[in-house]
Amino acid sequence: MPDSAASTPAASNPASSIRLRRLALPIYGPTVLISIGMGAVVPLIALSALDLGATVTQAAIIVGLIGFGQLCGDLPAGALTQRFGEKRVLLAACVVEAAALIVASQTSSLAVLAASVFSIGLSSAVFGLARHAYLSEAVAFGFRARALSTLGGTFRIGSFIGPFVGALLIEQHSFGATYAFAAGTSLAGGLLSLALPDLPRTARVDAPAPEKRSLWAVLAEHKKVFATAGTGVFLIMIARASRQAIIPLWAALQGLDATTTSIIFGLAAGVDMLLFYPGGAIMDRFGRMWVALPAMIVMGAGFLLLPLSGTALTIGLVACFMGLGNGISSGIVLTIGSDVAPDEGRRQFLGGWRLCADLGNVAGPGLISLVSLAFPLGAAAIALGLITWFGAGWLAKWVPVYDPARRVKASA
């Protein structure tokens, strides 16, 4: 397939796709369960490291190993899923994650804790890739954005509930009980994934078997897609990750306490969660640009407005405004990735695609730190606003090129 255009998805034929209703429990259920468990545990990782004698810097590094593990796991996840299939890989990822959580809860070694956290990141990458690849192939094209935006929404719901569950478990029991709860949700999610229907097979009986290709061959063939659309999702993820990092930093700089900042985050998360399905419906009906462009414009404006806010009310309004942009774009990275993924080598390709996104996820907070070394935090917010608006322009140029709805209309 030429690297200038994506292939027509096999799932675009409604007769060969799986009804979204059949996927509700086995695809969205595990996501909710695992995100609740991880939402409960992630705030405790730094505290666990400090209890084992880590410095604040070391604790921050250990927390960051989740993201580093995801980066390291993206490409192998694609190769593993291509070789063993989604169901087995989903279950294996959940088992490894549960084991890592149990080890993290029992260890008295900082090095073992760090290795466990890194393993959690690797497992998360594998689980996310297999889930994405499955939905890309299983769901009819006309429902793709809704299916993937709902996937993003269920992750948001779980992540919102998780910290409250974790706080309750810590109050009533201990850190160990919270880790055990997360391990249980991971195992339950893996077992629930086994209920996934088999993927539809549309190939003719007499058709030749597809050529087995290496991961690097697939990535090289589609290098233009990664350089264009992939850069777009890199910029989206810079905006998303930076939003999560800069708002609490700005709130602390303005003298807000931790409770007030948490309330602001909760309100913004509520706005974020409300909009995932409407965003998917808009993408399916009108095209990807009707969500990608407004979302980046709104988030960019939020960054530029943040230095003008100085009270809990104004910071909260900016946070909710940015949550509006982030919420309506739920699933946009997954959806565009499914649009541009080839039929042959889909899973390896999606490994590279998720690497582009995870690089942006790491680069966003890093950019804040870099700018803040020489300039006030407000300057970092302005720089992020301009980068996000540049991203809006980049997406406006390249998303329509790969929009499958546009290609269908052009060929009609």
Residue 148 domain-assigned (yes or no) = yes
Question: Is 245 in the same domain as 191?
Answer: no
205 domain residue, yes or no? no
Q: Supply 332's token pair.
A: 């946009």
User: Could you give the CA distance from residue 336 to residue 330 in angstroms, rounded to a whole number?
Assistant: 12
Shared-domain flag, residues 129 and 14: yes
Specify whether 115 is located in the same domain as 191.
yes
Q: Are 323 and 269 in contact (CB under 8 A)?
A: yes
pLDDT in tens, 131-169: 999 888 888 888 888 889 888 888 888 878 888 888 888
Q: How far apart are CA 154 and CA 32, in angstroms?
A: 6
pLDDT of residue 203: 41
* End position of a domain, from candidates 199, 230, 262: 199
Instruction: Tell whether 282 and 380 lie within a shared domain.
Output: yes
- Kindly report the backbone phi and psi dihedral angles of residue 97, in degrees, each rounded to the nearest multiple of 5, phi listed first: -65, -45
Q: Which of 147, 166, 199 corresponds to the end of one domain?
A: 199
Shared domain check, 409 and 285: yes
| Domain contains 204 | no
Residue 230 lies in a domain: yes
Domain boundary among 199, 225, 259: 199
Domain that holds residue 408: 215-412
Question: For residue 209, is it within any domain?
Answer: no
d(CA 156, CA 269): 8
- Number of structural domains (the chain) is 2
Q: Check residue 209 and give its pLDDT.
A: 47
Does one domain contain both 379 and 237?
A: yes
Compute the distance between CA of residue 213 and CA of residue 199 in angstroms, rounded to an integer.
Answer: 21
Residues 195, 236, single domain; the answer is no
Regions in the chain scoring below 50 on pLDDT: 1-16, 202-209, 412
**For the domain that residue 47 is a member of, what is the CATH number?**
1.20.1250.20
Q: Does residue 255 share a domain with residue 332?
A: yes
Q: What does 325-371 look like in DSSP terms, one character per residue?
A: HHHHTTTHHHHHHHHH--STTHHHHHHHHHHHHHHHHHHHHHHHHHH
Q: Are residues 345 and 408 in the same domain?
A: yes
For every residue of 212-250, which 3-state class applies, written as one string? CCCHHHHHHHCHHHHHHHHHHHHHHHHHHHHHHHHHHHH
Determine, yes or no, domain membership for 318.
yes
99: left (phi over 0), alpha (psi -120 to 50) or beta: alpha
208 lies in some domain:
no
Residue 177 lies in a domain: yes
Query: Are 254 and 120 found together in one domain?
Result: no
Same domain, 156 and 245: no
Number of helices and strands in the chain (H, E): 18, 0
Mind listing the pLDDT tens digit for each residue in 167-216? 888 878 878 888 999 999 999 999 998 888 877 664 434 444 455 677 88
Shared domain for 300 and 374, answered yes or no, is yes
